[in-house]
């Protein structure tokens, strides 16, 4: 079975090469999957895609006309896929529901610590032989209240680490996770979470109900100087409202591993180009903002899990069986 792997990087090639055999033949394509690049999948039976590939109804229709019968997501989120269109076209869709949730959780905590203790600033100062501590004052995580929005595998992994720091955990999710309450976490409404949390961390999927969950109204309900972390999906935040929150000092610290318009930015070296995204560039001007390029998932263990589960999903399709990871079957 031929599989077109879009948005392919060296680490994707390295990961999937171990699974390539007579059953699976991977064709690596550097570009993102869009309406303009679907033709590159001609002759393949399936496409393998990542978080910024486009799989709207128009793209899926084009893929179907090329004979594509399966979309293999090498990620957990599926907000970029029109599942109804896929079902109508008879295209099977499968994902990797969990790949080292600890990887994302640890990156989340790393962002909290870096922002709080200003490690990025201290590193640059010391390299310039500046050992002054002025401007580097932080706070103890111990005893602070952390609000977790989303308590699935990643939210739970984050909660476990924070519990070890001695934090008080307030949580919100449409489905309560018993493991959270066993850790001492308490489920509350969003209003209470916003009002009481010193730190708020997002671990929920992007859906029509959660788009712009963090907006001007929710920011106004938060504590002054709140720390806000997003390692989930960029469009959970209204970036312009967040900028207003930073300017008003309502948001004291902001850590982003994702960005709403990241598709044209992240995973590429743009150091020799002019970036014309004014919102993104404005975010970078704030001294209390830390942005990483969607790397929270990026560990050896996670990449191994992604390549293995994605390959299992493809092999199951080829053998007309299921793995339980199917979104459209």
Catalytic residue (choose from 54, 92, 294, 305): 294
Strand order in the sheet with 70-73: 25-28, 2-5, 46-49, 70-73, 92-94, 326-328
Residue matched to tokens 């996770």:
177
Active site annotation includes 233: yes
Active site annotation includes 262: yes
Judging by DSSP bridges, how do beta strands 92-94 and 326-328 pair with one another? antiparallel
CA distance 293 to 281: 14
Active site annotation includes 326: no
Catalytic residue (choose from 54, 260, 262, 305): 262
Q: Residues 203, 148: contact at Cβ < 8 Å?
A: yes
Looking at 90-238, list the stretches that DSSP marks H as alpha helix, in order from N- to C-terminal side.
Answer: 101-117, 119-127, 153-165, 178-182, 190-196, 216-220
CA distance 57 to 229: 32
- ∠ CA 326-327-329, nearest 5°, is 65
Residue 57, beta-bridge partner list: none
Catalytic residue (choose from 74, 233, 260, 305): 233
CB atoms within 10 A of CB 10: 8
Residue matched to tokens 């959660």:
210
Residues forming the active site = 233, 262, 294
């Amino acid at each position: 079975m031929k599989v077109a792997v879009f948005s392919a990087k060296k680490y994707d090639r390295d990961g999937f090469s171990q699974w390539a055999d007579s059953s699976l033949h991977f064709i690596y394509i550097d570009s993102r999957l869009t309406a303009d690049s679907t033709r590159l999948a001609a002759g393949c039976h399936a496409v393998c895609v990542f978080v910024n590939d486009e799989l709207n109804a128009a793209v899926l229709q084009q893929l179907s006309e090329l004979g594509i019968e399966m979309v293999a997501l090498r990620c957990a989120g599926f907000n970029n896929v029109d599942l109804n269109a896929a079902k109508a076209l008879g295209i099977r869709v499968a994902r990797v529901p969990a790949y080292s949730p600890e990887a994302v959780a640890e990156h989340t905590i790393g962002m909290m610590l870096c922002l709080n203790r200003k490690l990025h600033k201290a590193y640059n100062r010391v390299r310039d032989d500046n050992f002054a501590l002025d401007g580097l004052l932080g706070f103890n995580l111990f005893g602070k209240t952390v609000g977790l929005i989303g308590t699935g595998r990643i939210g739970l992994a984050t909660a476990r680490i924070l519990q070890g720091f001695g934090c008080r955990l307030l949580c919100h999710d449409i489905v309560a996770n018993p493991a959270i309450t066993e850790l001492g976490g308490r489920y509350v409404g969003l209003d209470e979470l916003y009002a009481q949390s010193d730190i708020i961390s997002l671990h929920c999927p992007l859906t029509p109900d959660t788009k712009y969950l963090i907006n001007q109204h929710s920011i106004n309900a938060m504590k002054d100087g709140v720390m806000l972390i997003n390692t989930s999906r960029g469009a959970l935040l209204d970036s312009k409202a967040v900028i207003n929150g930073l300017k008003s000092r309502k948001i004291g610290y902001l850590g982003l591993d994702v960005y709403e318009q990241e598709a044209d930015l992240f995973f590429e070296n743009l150091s020799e180009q002019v970036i014309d995204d004014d919102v993104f560039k404005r975010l970078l001007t704030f001294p209390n903002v830390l942005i990483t390029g969607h790397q929270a998932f990026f560990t050896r263990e996670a990449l191994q899990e992604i390549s293995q589960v994605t390959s299992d999903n493809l092999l199951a399709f080829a053998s007309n069986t299921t793995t339980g990871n199917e979104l459209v079957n």
